[in-house]
Copies of this chain bind each other. A is one copy, B any other.
Amino acid sequence: MRSLGLSHPMEELVGLREGSPGNPVTLHELWGRCPSIRRGVQGVLEWLKRMLFRVGEDWYFLTALGVLMALISYAMNFVVERMLLAHNWLYREIGDSHLLRFLSWVVYPVALVSFSSGFSQSITPFSGGSGIPELKTILSGVVLEDYLDIKNFGAKVVGLSCTLASSSTIFLGKVGPFVHICAMMAAYMGRVRIKTIREPENKSKQNEMLVAAAAVGVATVFSAPFSGVLVSIEVMSSHFSVWDYWRGFFAATCGAFMFRLLSVFNSEEETITVLYKTSFRVEVPFDLPEIFFFVLLGGICGVMSCAYLFCQRFFLGFVRSNRFTSKLLATSKPLYSALAALVLASLTYPPGVGRFLASRLSMGQYLNSLLDNNSWALATRNSSPSWPTELDPKNLWLEWYQPEFTIFGTLAFFLLMKFWMLILATTIPIPAGYFFPIFVYGAAIGRLLGEALSVAFPEGIVAGGVVNPIMPGSYALAGAAAFSGAVTHSISTALLAFEMTGQMVHGLPVLMCVLAANAIAQSCQPSFYDGTIIVKKLPFLPWIRGRYINSHLVNVGHFMTSSITTLARDAPLQEVIKVVTSTEVAEYPLVESTESQILVGTVRRAQLLQALLAPPPSWALGQQVGPGQGWRGWLGGQPGERRERLARDPIVPFCLQRHLQDILAEGCPIEPVTLQLSPDTTLHQAHNLFELLNLQALFVTSRGRAVGFVSWVELKKAISNLTNPPAPK
Task: Tell me the residues in window 200-240 of chain A with beta carbons closer than 8 Å to chain B beta carbons.
Answer: 200, 202, 204-205, 208, 223-226, 233-234, 237-240
Residue in B200, B225, B287, B675 whose beta carbon sits within 8 Å of that of A685 in the complex: B675
Residue in B223, B288, B598, B693 whose beta carbon sits within 8 Å of that of A703 in the complex: B598
Nearest 7 A/B pairs, CB to CB? A704-B704, A672-B680, A674-B681, A57-B547, A502-B505, A674-B680, A504-B504
- The distance from the CB of A492 to the nearest CB of chain B, in whole angstroms, is 8
Q: List 13 A-B contacts (CB under 8 A).
A: A204-B552, A226-B507, A239-B242, A246-B518, A253-B508, A271-B287, A272-B286, A272-B508, A274-B504, A277-B282, A674-B678, A674-B680, A676-B676
Judged by a CB distance under 8 angstroms, whether A511 is at the interface is: yes
Which residue of B has the minimal Cβ distance to A290? B271
Task: Tell me the residues in window 676-729 of chain A with beta carbons closer than 8 Å to chain B beta carbons.
Answer: 676-682, 684-685, 688-689, 692-693, 701, 703-705
Judged by a CB distance under 8 angstroms, whether A160 is at the interface is: no
Given A546-B208, A680-B674: A249 touches B502 (CB 8 Å cut-off): no
C-alpha spacing A592/B598, complex, angstroms: 14
Which residue of B has the minimal Cβ distance to A501? B504
Interchain CB contact under 8 A, B508 and A260: yes
Task: Tell me the residues in window 499-516 of chain A with beta carbons closer than 8 Å to chain B beta carbons.
Answer: 499, 502-505, 507-509, 511-512, 515
Judged by a CB distance under 8 angstroms, whether A377 is at the interface is: no
Which residue of B has the minimal Cβ distance to A557? B672
Known A202-B549, A202-B552, A238-B241; further 15 A-B contacts with Cβ < 8 A: A199-B549, A204-B552, A234-B245, A237-B242, A238-B243, A245-B491, A257-B291, A257-B508, A271-B464, A272-B288, A277-B282, A502-B505, A502-B507, A672-B678, A674-B682
Interchain CB contact under 8 A, B549 and A253: no
- The distance from the CB of A14 to the nearest CB of chain B, in whole angstroms, is 28
Q: Which residues of B contact A543 (CB under 8 A)?
A: 243
C-alpha spacing A547/B503, complex, angstroms: 37
Interchain CB contact under 8 A, A238 and B242: yes
- The distance from the CB of A283 to the nearest CB of chain B, in whole angstroms, is 8
C-alpha spacing A592/B264, complex, angstroms: 73
Chain A residues close to B by CB (< 8 Å): 54, 57-58, 199-200, 202, 204-205, 208, 223-226, 233-234, 237-243, 245-247, 249-250, 253, 256-257, 260-261, 264, 267, 270-274, 277, 279, 282-288, 291, 463-464, 466, 468, 491, 494-495, 498-499, 502-505, 507-509, 511-512, 515, 518, 543, 545-547, 549, 552-553, 592, 598-600, 672-682, 684-685, 688-689, 692-693, 701, 703-705
C-alpha spacing A553/B205, complex, angstroms: 13
C-alpha spacing A688/B689, complex, angstroms: 9
C-alpha spacing A205/B253, complex, angstroms: 35
Q: Which residues of B contact A284 (CB under 8 A)?
A: 270-271, 273
C-alpha spacing A240/B494, complex, angstroms: 20
Interchain CB contact under 8 A, A688 and B693: yes
Q: Which residues of B contact A287 (CB under 8 A)?
A: 270-271
Interchain CB contact under 8 A, A285 and B273: yes
Which residue of B has the minimal Cβ distance to A597? B704
- The distance from the CB of A502 to the nearest CB of chain B, in whole angstroms, is 5
Interchain CB contact under 8 A, B693 and A685: yes
One complex includes copies of this chain to the number of 2
- The distance from the CB of A679 to the nearest CB of chain B, in whole angstroms, is 8
Interchain CB contact under 8 A, A599 and B703: yes
Residue in B270, B282, B703 whose beta carbon sits within 8 Å of that of A279 in the complex: B282
Q: Which residues of B contact A224 (CB under 8 A)?
A: 507
Interface centre among A57, A242, A277, A503 (most CB of B within 10 A): A242
C-alpha spacing A598/B597, complex, angstroms: 13
C-alpha spacing A163/B677, complex, angstroms: 51
Interchain CB contact under 8 A, A600 and B703: yes
Interchain CB contact under 8 A, B250 and A515: yes
Interchain CB contact under 8 A, B238 and A239: no
Interchain CB contact under 8 A, B234 and A242: yes
Q: Which residues of B contact A202 (CB under 8 A)?
A: 549, 552
C-alpha spacing A626/B20, complex, angstroms: 111
Interchain CB contact under 8 A, B503 and A507: no
Residue in B261, B546, B673 whose beta carbon sits within 8 Å of that of A680 in the complex: B673
Which residue of B has the minimal Cβ distance to A701? B704
Q: Which residues of B contact A261 (CB under 8 A)?
A: 288
Which residue of B has the minimal Cβ distance to A705? B704
C-alpha spacing A247/B547, complex, angstroms: 12
Q: Which residues of B contact A240 (CB under 8 A)?
A: 239-240, 242
Q: Which residues of B contact A233 (CB under 8 A)?
A: 242
Q: Which residues of B contact A679 (CB under 8 A)?
A: 672
Q: Which residues of B contact A246 (CB under 8 A)?
A: 491, 518
Interface centre among A54, A246, A274 (most CB of B within 10 A): A246
Interchain CB contact under 8 A, A267 and B681: no
Residue in B238, B249, B507, B673 whose beta carbon sits within 8 Å of that of A678 in the complex: B673
Q: Which residues of B contact A673 (CB under 8 A)?
A: 678, 680
- The distance from the CB of A691 to the nearest CB of chain B, in whole angstroms, is 8
Which residue of B has the minimal Cβ distance to A257? B508
- The distance from the CB of A590 to the nearest CB of chain B, in whole angstroms, is 11
C-alpha spacing A225/B224, complex, angstroms: 19
Q: Which residues of B contact A701 (CB under 8 A)?
A: 704
